[in-house]
Amino acid sequence: MDDVMYWISKEGSGHYFFIAFPFCLLILLIFLKRRRFSFVIPSLLMSIVIINPLFYRFWQKLGLYAYWRILWIVPVIAVVAGVIPAITEYIDSIWLKTALAALGVGLTVVGGTYLYKGTGGRFQLPAKNIAKLPQAVVESADRLLEMEESPRILAEPAMSVYYREYCGEIRTLFGRDIYGYISQPRETAIRLNNYADMGDWENVNKIMLEEGYDYVVTTNKWDVDTTCFEKVLDETAFDLYSPVGISGIVREWNELDKTTKESYFDINGEPLLQTAGYAAIEQEWENNDLISRTYLDPDGHPINRVDGYSKVIWEEIEGVKTVRFYDIDGGEIPSEGLNLIKDMVICEDGWSEWFAPGYKRKNSTIYFNTISLDDRVAGDSYTCQFDIEFRGVTGVVGEEFLFQTQGSVDGKWNGGNIWTPDLICLKSPPGDGIQRCLSTIRISEKAVHASEFSIGFRFDHWASGEFRIKGVKIEKGQKPTEWTPGI
Amino acid sequence: MMHVLLEIVLGTIVFALPLVVGKIFRSRPMGFTYLTGQLLLWSVFQIVAVPAVYCRISFSALFWIYTGLVTAMTVTGIVFIRRSPGQPTLKDREEQKEHRKQWLRDLSPFLVIALFIIAYQCCIYIFGMHLDEDDARWIAEANDALIKDKMLLYNPATGEYVGRFIGEVAKDVYSPWSMYLACLSRWTGIKPVIIAHTVYPPILLGMSYSAYYEIGAQLFIDEQTGRQRMSRRHERGIFLLMVAVINLFMGGNIYTQSVFTLTRIWQGKAVVAALMIPSILMATLRIQAEDTAWNWFLLMISGTACCLFSGMGIVIGGIMIAVYGAYAVIRSIARNWKTGLFRIPLLALSIAPSIVYGIGYMRLL
């Protein structure tokens, strides 16, 4: 009952219509001439069904935990509005009708709160453009579209949300803070957000160049470092910056925005060999699916990586996803001992960048890698290992702190929380230090048909601090082997 | 300038379509005709769009299929207008003129005041601005469909191609309101964001009050006692006036139906709050007043259209039809069990969209 009353009091705050509702229903039951059984009784029935502690949990679940929206079904507006006309039906005098109508309007005004005042005053803003979006967004979007057909931008968070409402041509490095809703693990965006706030423009520059983003748009809320960025436009409503410097990675894309070639360069523009011994990769796609990856030397020729293979081919044979590794001569390499992690961003010393989850992160997860674990059958084992280092971690005062690995199957953790919780589970702030994590999982019948598996970390009541990881390796079998670079 | 004029002309035609399509129901008051026409257009879109989105066909294919269906419905509506009894002759025109004058004399002052308040609310929608981050998903989805010709396969937050229905986007597979917006945009040439924020809100608000007016019309019917006819036009006017004032003063928190009605009616869940909830109530009231196949059809299309807007629409529409519809059927059986029993399949058909889309919705999430 408490939950029901809580939501009624929430939705009923600022006005008396919910309190008036049962009395109005009673008045209608007495006075309404014609539709008593068509309107009053079903309204009463609906109220009993919805405002009922016995059904609360059911409605809460059915309404995707928004019981307050289910409350809209209770016909409060129609019932309250029906009271005065139901009484005036008995009166012939137009003056008496007018007096009663005025009384009804007066009671409504006194018993309620003017709605436009109650929404934080935001609605009264006079519109500055026909799209009803922030003027800086409209102006900068128009300028960007004059300059490029499909600009890729990084905009300050307050603006970034609105660009893609204005036009679909613009791509933003991050949009609304919908992490977890859209479920794509864009830790880059989160990092960028943090770094931009901290003023780490060198890193922002690097990521933008790597991912092919051309402009930073700001209304001067960001103090953009001009050694990393040059000012392109200086307008009244906004400024436009462009990253400068040599890209660490040069990418080519297909029409679906999928990377077809990726070459690595050092600060002098010379080819940069990766840990696995290659300087570029070439990729083939079938729609959204990666079907092959070839590793190249600085001259653009196929090369064997340090772990012995030159080409990876992903196929689907009779509904089963498979992955095969081949050397430069076309010979197949056994997959045991190979690191199945894909696209893991690591620094030169082997560590990832520091993750700073932010204050009061509650029951939320950052996924840092997604793999397909191809060729699996029920009962297959996979081993996962990595090191994790914490720096200055604290929990929210008065709340129970929790940090643990979080696995997901097809984007749903409840579909198979595979790497957790035994891999790492900290129930109090661990302070500083490095921990070694090792875990073996077995593929269940349910997980056989999954298309992807993610690994990440979950935070409950995280207050401050950061962490980073090193040497992540997921391999087939139960025996962990020495770290090798990912695919 | 020509471009703007063309947009205005096309926009007028497109937004007037429900008025023609609504004639299929042979309904008289303009507001009710528009409302029923729009409900029919939405429900047909829902039936066509969900499989199209699910099967990942291109937006253009959906657009042309739906355009064909809308053309067919419009032609049918025109046929119904032409077949409607009493095509105006000169004499009739004079009679119509007299009838119009009489209508103006009969117009309740309460209704006039209510219309002024509604006009004020519409003006706020036209000249005011309300920023809401919820738009970041579905207006971006409409933009992506128009430009990239693929439906719900891009991350709306960034524009990145994903190729599957991820996270919150999966909700929109069974409630493709954003794709309807994209269709309106393609028909008129007006950007989705302008349709959503500026053009559509006054129309949706007008339809919401049309539904409430029809509820009032069902509750306060003219009485015939002997030779004397007791008009209830003032009661209907007071009812609409009270609804408009209650909406205006149901503030103080962000959860109420009125907040969604008057601040962001362009969003799917707000259309459910503002328009679909009163529409379903209206349809069930009409069924209880006149248990005809047309009124059941009105309930069916209301239930189907309700699923178009949001997951909450699927749930809310289902609950409303289940409770109100079951009550109507029980009353019908109590009156005449033989004819009443035949209403059970009609109720099942009305609630079927909520069940079918609801199951799909739950499976995809």
How far is Cα B63 from Cα B5, in angstroms, rounded to an integer?
23
> Is pLDDT at A439 greater than 90 in this prediction?
no
> A324 touching B, CB under 8 A?
no
Is it true that the peptide bond before A75 is cis, omega within 30 degrees of 0? no
| Residue B138 contacts residue B172 (beta carbons within 8 Å) | yes
Cα–Cα distance measured from residue A449 to residue A388, given in angstroms and rounded to the nearest whole number: 31
User: DSSP 3-state assignment of B295?
Assistant: helix
Query: How close does chain B come to A98, measured CA to CA in Å?
Result: 8
Which residues in chain B have their CB less than 8 angstroms from residue A68's CB? 255
Distance from the Cα of A81 to chain B's closest Cα (Å) equals: 5
Q: What is the pLDDT of residue A185?
A: 42
Average pLDDT, integer, range B171-197: 94
Surface-to-core class of residue B289, CB atoms within 10 Å of its CB (0-12 exposed, 13-18 middle, 19+ buried): middle
| Minimum CA–CA partner of B323 in chain A | A46
Of A94, A115, A172, the CB nearest to B249: A115
Contacts of residue B248 in chain A, CB cutoff 8 Å?
Answer: 112, 114-115
Nearest residue to A51 (alpha-carbon basis) of A75, A26, A23: A75
Residue A48 sits at the chain B interface (C-beta within 8 Å): no
Please say if the pLDDT value at position A359 is more than 70. no
Nearest-neighbour CA in chain B from A250: distance (Å): 18
- Which of B249, B284, B365 to mutate against chain A (most A CBs within 10 Å)? B249
Contacts of B164 in chain A (CB under 8 A): 288
Interface probe, candidates B147, B148, B193, B282, chain A, greatest A C-beta count within 10 A: B193
Long-range contacts of A322-329 (CB under 8 A, 24+ apart): A322/A374, A322/A375, A323/A372, A323/A374, A323/A375, A328/A302, A328/A303, A328/A304
Mean pLDDT of chain B: 89
User: Cα A415 vs. chain centroid, distance in angstroms?
Assistant: 19
Q: How many contacts, defined by CB atoms under 8 Å, are there between A and B? A: 308
Pairwise CB contact (< 8 Å): A68 & B255: yes
Q: Does the pLDDT of residue A415 top 60, yes or no?
A: no
Minimum-distance CB partner of A88 among B219, B238, B284: B238
CA separation for the pair A261, A271 (Å, rounded): 14
Residues of B in contact with A78 (CB under 8 A): 212, 215, 243, 278, 281
pTM of the model as a whole: 0.78
Sign of CA dihedral A109, A112, A114, A116: negative
Q: Which of B109, B155, B254 sits opposite A182 (nearest CB)?
A: B155
**CB contact, 8 Å: A89 with chain B?**
yes
Judged by CB atoms closer than 8 Å, whether chains meet at B137 and A76 is answered as no
Distance from the B19 Cα atom to the nearest Cα atom in chain A, whole angstroms: 25
More confident residue, A17 or A367: A17
Cross-chain Cβ contact A38/B218 below 8 Å: yes
B131 vs A171: CB contact, 8 Å cut-off?
no
Q: Which of A72, A127, A257 minimises the CB distance to B129?
A: A127
pLDDT at A8 over 50: yes
Mean pLDDT of A227-239: 83
Residues of A in contact with B288 (CB under 8 A): 35, 37-38
**Average pLDDT rounded to a whole number, residues B156-184:** 89
Q: Cβ of B248 and A114 within 8 Å?
A: yes
Interface residue A228 vs chain B (CB under 8 A)? no
* Residue A52 contacts B, CB cutoff 8 Å: no
What pLDDT score does A245 carry?
62
Cα angle A243, A247, A248 (rounded to 5 degrees) comes to: 140
pLDDT at residue B30 tops 50: yes
| Nearest residue of chain A to residue B231 (CA atoms) | A89
What percent of chain A stands above pLDDT 90?
25
Based on the number of CB atoms within 10 Å of its own CB, is A49 exposed (0-12), middle (13-18) or buried (19 or more)? Answer: middle
Beta strands in A170-275 (DSSP E): 171-172, 215-218, 229-234, 239-243, 249-253, 259-264
| Spatial contact of A84 and B240, defined as CB atoms under 8 Å apart | no
The DSSP-derived string for B334-353 is HH-HHHHHTHHHHHHHHHHH
Lowest mean pLDDT among A96-100, A194-198, B52-56, B252-256: A194-198
- Closest CB from B232, B249, B319 relative to A114: B249
Q: Which residues pair with B361 in a beta bridge?
A: none
Q: Which residue, A406, A411, A478, A401, is CA-closest to A442?
A: A478
- Which of A57-71, A361-375, B38-52, B258-272 shows the lowest mean pLDDT across its residues? A361-375
Phi, psi of B139 (to 5 degrees): -70, -35
Looking at chain A, the whole-number percentage of residues with pLDDT higher than 70 is 85
> How close is the nearest chain B Cα to the Cα of A340, in Å?
22
At A346 the three-state DSSP class reads coil
How many residues are present in chain B? 365
A176 touches chain B (CB under 8 A): yes
Residue A137: predicted pLDDT: 93
B-chain CB neighbours of A168 within 8 Å are 140, 143-144, 146-148, 159
Return the pLDDT at B272: 96
| Residue to substitute from B242, B254, B264, B267, interface A, most A β-carbons within 10 A | B242
**pLDDT tens digit string along A36-71?**
888 999 999 999 999 988 888 888 877 766 788 999
Residue B86 has pLDDT above 60, yes or no: no
**Amino acid identity, position A57:** R
Give the mean pLDDT of B257-268.
93
Crossing angle for the helix pair B59-83 and B2-21, nearest 10 degrees? Answer: 60
Asked if the C-beta of A153 comes within 8 angstroms of chain B's C-beta atoms, the answer is no
Q: Do B235 and A89 touch (CB under 8 A)?
A: yes
Is the pLDDT score of A190 beyond 50? yes
Note the pLDDT tens digit of each residue in B34-61: 999 999 999 999 999 999 999 999 999 9
- Alpha carbon of A126: minimum distance to chain B alpha carbons (Å): 5
Dihedral sign of CA atoms B224, B230, B233, B236 in order: negative
Q: What is the mean predicted confidence (pLDDT) over B244-255? A: 91
Q: Is the dihedral of CA A394, A396, A401, A406 positive or negative?
A: negative
The band of A421, judged by pLDDT with boundaries at 50, 70 and 90, is very low
Cross-chain Cβ contact B158/A117 below 8 Å? no
Q: Which amino acid appears at position B99 of this protein?
A: H
- Tens-digit pLDDT profile for residues A244-296: 765 567 778 887 778 898 888 776 678 888 878 899 999 999 887 888 999 99
The mean per-residue pLDDT over the stretch A315-324 comes to 78
Integer Cα distance of A163 and A156 in angstroms: 11
